[in-house]
Structure formats: C-alpha cells, structure tokens
C-alpha cells in the first residue's frame, strides 16, 4: 500500500517514526472558472490522496523527500524563498505564508507522495499544499481554521507556483465531506453540503492523457480577460467589483462596448454561476437528469465561450452524448487537458467503459485511464 511505502521511506531516510496525514484530490461537479470571479463552485474531495509522513527534527532545517519523483530538497528554516524546484515550491509557499501570519515553524522532516494523478485536473498541487498546511497546523498547534489553511494554500500557489488560482481546490481538499458535494460561495466563503450518493450512478473520470499545466496554460490570461469585462461595467456601476455582481441583462446592455472574446468569457462566467444555483436546486429535488444536463451545458460554455477545452476533452464528451445511461459529462478543472467527469448509471458502467475504449485513444495511442471515484472526507490525521 502507498502509505506503507511512504512510512518506510521516512524511516529509512530519517530513522524515526513519523505522524501520517493525508489530503485528497478533488472533483468539481459544476462551476468552472467561477471561483476567481467571486462566484459559485460545487466540488467534492475524492478517495485519491497525497500522504505525508512528517516529524519535527529539532534542527533549523526543513528536509523534504518527494516519494513519487524520488527527489529531495533541504533548506534552512531562515531561508524560505521560491526555489527552482517546482514541487518544492508548493511546500515552501505554505511555510512562507504561515511565517507571514507570524507563526514560528520549527524544523521538520517530511516524505510525501500518493495516488492523485499529476496534471490530470484533480488538483494534486492543492492536495500537496493542503496536506502540508493541515499537518503543520496539527503538529505545531498553530490554530488555523480549515478555511485559513485553504487561503494559505491558495496564496502559496499564487506566490510560489505563479498560478493566480481561485480557492476551490484547496477548499475542497480541506473541507471534503463523504457523500456530499459542497456548494461554495467564493466571495463569502460560506458553503452548503448537498448529499450526492452514488447508489444509482457513479462519478467516473476519463483522463485524456493530455497533461495540463495551469502555470503554462492560459489560466492567468482568462483571469485578466474577466477583469477587462469588470472594468468596463464598473464605469456604469461602482458596486460591480467582480463578475459575480453582473447579470446577463447588464452584460447584454453593454455588449457593444465589449470585444467579442471578452464578452464571451464574461457571459460564460455569468451563465455558469446561474447553472451552479440550478444544480444545487436539482440536487435538492433529486432531479439528476437536470443536474446532468447542466454538466453538458457547462462543457459547451467552456468549449465555445471560455475556450479552455481541447479536442481530446471534446471528443470524450461527444462520445457520451448518445448514451442515455450517461446523465452528464464535461471537462473538469482548469482545462486544456486533464479529465472529463461523467455521471454514469451504475447499471451500465461496463458499457460506458467499453464505449470510451472503443472510441478514444490518448495522443500517445493508449487506452485512457478511467477512474471511478468515491466522494471522501477532506484532509485528516491518518495515523
């Protein structure tokens, strides 16, 4: 088992018995690219984890080992700054944020690794940030709330990884609740759990095999495009500070002042926020057909207006369209690759897998990874 390998690696390297924590990856049912627009999202933590074996070392040094990469990184506690090592930055960023809050983070040793696929849109980086933040909060009794830890992880990503991400991924990794999706208001940071049991249908992810990297993708550009739209509308109404404050009517009223691309981006975000609200109602009414249709609509918005999909993601969604046992399907996460999320009736999972294998090959010519996931709790002390 993964966790045992990580514990053994810790003992071999540091000759001590560590404490084990784990933080999950996430799926997002609906509400994509809405978080950094102060809007609504509906993620859930899943049963794919990054495990952390960790122990204070009584020295002025942080020693990390990335088990999956077989790489190590060491730095003294007074020298926290961004490194050339991309993976180490997720960890250093967290420590730096905590220090920024005035906390003293003594030296520690840490081995981490897990089974959240990297570059698949399941937030492996947020799981690393959230897991370390959770672990340090616990072992050094720092007193941060889970939401503060999520904000720490988000800031780490901004400042040490260069991605101006929203709060969704770190939030989900820290707040996940078994059998529930969490509808988060990304402005007030209030959230509401909605039960989503998988008794009748399953959440199945299909990995395009196209690796996405938010840092090198057009993620930050999309964020700026939304801001351009806000700047136009704010001239007419000073109360508008993000696309969250904009209705479709207001957007339409000012359409002639928008460049087509910026208008498409903004109208997608406003429509997606409406879809998340409808999705919450659909879950409350157990109207899974409607819920699934909203997923398809979300995909077409992301493809046509927000332009963050790619041919491989589109192909995977298209394959599911004629299959009446698929309730909904869409690209998930930042886009430009990674996975689709599919809601598939439990009675037809084998047929679904067969259809996907028949009609889709990754760019490398392989059968795609197909992952059935279960909605799980957020970051926790594992043992």
**Residue among 293, 243, 314, 294 nearest 36 (CA):** 243
In the complex with ligand GAF, the residue whose CB is nearer, 32 or 109, is 32
**Strand stretches in the chain, DSSP E:** 19-28, 40-41, 43-56, 61-66, 71-76, 108-114, 180-185, 191-195, 201-207, 326-331, 339-345, 370-373, 380-381
> Rule CB under 6 A: which of 230-249 touch ligand GAF?
none
Decide if residue 165 touches ligand GAF (CB under 6 A): yes
Per-residue CA distances from 295 to 43, 92, 341 (Å): 13, 36, 9
**Strand stretches in 131-172, DSSP E:** none
Which position among 38, 109, 129, 169 is part of the footprint of ligand GAF (CB under 6 A)? 169
Q: What's the distance, CA 350 to chain centroid?
A: 27
**Residue among 147, 131, 127 nearest 139 (CA):** 131
**Strand 19-28, strand 43-56: pairing:** antiparallel
Backbone angles phi, psi at 9, to 5 degrees: -60, -40
Q: For ligand GAF, which stretch binds (CB under 6 A), given 31-39, 230-238, 244-252, 363-371?
A: 31-39
Q: For ligand GAF, which stretch binds (CB under 6 A), given 29-37, 96-104, 188-196, 352-360?
A: 29-37
Decide if residue 129 touches ligand GAF (CB under 6 A): no
371: tokens are 């992952």
Which position among 36, 112, 160, 306 is part of the footprint of ligand GAF (CB under 6 A)? 36
Strand partners, 26: 45
Q: For ligand GAF, which stretch binds (CB under 6 A), given 13-21, 50-58, 165-173, 190-198?
A: 165-173
Which position among 39, 131, 146, 166 is part of the footprint of ligand GAF (CB under 6 A)? 166
Which position among 14, 18, 32, 89 is part of the footprint of ligand GAF (CB under 6 A)? 32
Handedness of CA 235, 253, 300, 280 (dihedral sign): positive
As a whole number of angstroms, the distance between CA 98 and CA 149 comes to 9
Those residues with Cβ within 8 angstroms of residue 336's Cβ, 6 or more apart along the chain or in another chain = 210, 212, 217, 218, 308, 309, 310
Decide if residue 306 touches ligand GAF (CB under 6 A): no
Decide if residue 225 touches ligand GAF (CB under 6 A): no
CB 355 within 8 A of CB 206: no
As a whole number of angstroms, the distance between CA 331 and CA 314 comes to 8
Binding residues for ligand GAF, total number by CB under 6 A: 12
Nearest-approach distance from CB 156 to ligand GAF, in angstroms: 12
In the complex with ligand GAF, the residue whose CB is nearer, 292 or 333, is 333
> Rule CB under 6 A: which of 326-345 touch ligand GAF?
333-334
Decide if residue 204 touches ligand GAF (CB under 6 A): no
Decide if residue 352 touches ligand GAF (CB under 6 A): no
Which position among 10, 22, 35, 146 is part of the footprint of ligand GAF (CB under 6 A)? 35
Nearest-approach distance from CB 172 to ligand GAF, in angstroms: 10
In the complex with ligand GAF, the residue whose CB is nearer, 35 or 225, is 35
Decide if residue 264 touches ligand GAF (CB under 6 A): no
Decide if 38 is catalytic: no
Those residues with Cβ within 8 angstroms of residue 2's Cβ, 6 or more apart along the chain or in another chain = 49, 51, 113, 114, 115
Strand partners, 28: 43
Residue listed under structure tokens 């060491």: 74
Nearest-approach distance from CB 131 to ligand GAF, in angstroms: 16
Q: For ligand GAF, which stretch binds (CB under 6 A), given 49-57, 84-92, 160-168, 369-377?
A: 160-168
Identify the active-site residue in 169, 249, 287, 318. 169
Q: Which residues are catalytic?
A: 169
Q: Interface residues with ligand GAF (CB under 6 A)?
A: 32-33, 35-36, 123, 165-166, 168-169, 214, 333-334
């Amino acid at each position: 088992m993964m966790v045992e390998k990580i514990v053994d690696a810790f003992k071999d390297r540091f000759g001590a018995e560590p404490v084990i924590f784990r933080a999950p990856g996430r799926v997002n049912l609906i509400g994509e690219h809405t978080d950094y627009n102060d809007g609504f999202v509906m993620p859930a933590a899943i049963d794919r984890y990054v495990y952390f074996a960790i122990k204070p070392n009584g020295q002025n040094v942080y020693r990390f080992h990335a088990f999956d990469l077989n790489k190590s990184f060491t730095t003294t506690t007074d020298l926290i700054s961004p490194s050339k090592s991309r993976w180490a930055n997720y960890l250093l960023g967290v420590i730096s944020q905590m220090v920024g809050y005035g906390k003293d983070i003594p030296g520690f040793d840490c081995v981490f690794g897990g089974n959240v696929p990297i570059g698949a849109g399941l937030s492996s980086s947020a799981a690393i940030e959230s897991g370390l933040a959770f672990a340090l909060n616990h072992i050094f009794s720092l007193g941060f709330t889970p939401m503060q830890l999520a904000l720490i992880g988000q800031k780490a990503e901004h400042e040490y990884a260069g991605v101006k991400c929203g709060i969704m991924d770190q939030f989900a990794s820290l707040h996940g609740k078994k059998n529930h999706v969490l509808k988060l208001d990304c402005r007030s940071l209030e959230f509401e759990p909605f039960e989503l049991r998988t008794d009748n249908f399953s959440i199945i992810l299909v990995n395009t095999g196209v690796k996405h990297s938010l840092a090198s993708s057009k993620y930050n550009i999309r964020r700026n495009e939304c801001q351009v739209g806000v700047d136009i509308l704010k001239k007419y109404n000073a109360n508008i500070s993000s696309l969250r404050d904009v209705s479709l009517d207001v957007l339409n009223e000012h359409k002639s002042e928008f460049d087509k691309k910026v208008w498409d981006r903004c109208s997608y975000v406003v429509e997606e926020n409406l879809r998340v609200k409808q999705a919450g109602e659909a879950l409350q009414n157990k109207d899974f057909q409607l819920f699934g249709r909203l997923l398809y609509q979300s995909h077409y918005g992301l493809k046509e207006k927000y332009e963050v999909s790619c041919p491989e993601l589109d192909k995977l969604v298209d394959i599911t369209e004629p299959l009446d046992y698929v309730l909904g399907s869409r690209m998930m996460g930042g886009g430009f690759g990674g996975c689709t999320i599919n809601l598939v009736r439990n009675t037809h999972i084998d047929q679904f897998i067969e259809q996907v294998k028949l009609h889709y090959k990754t760019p490398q010519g392989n059968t795609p990874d197909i992952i059935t996931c279960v909605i799980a709790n957020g970051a926790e002390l594992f043992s």
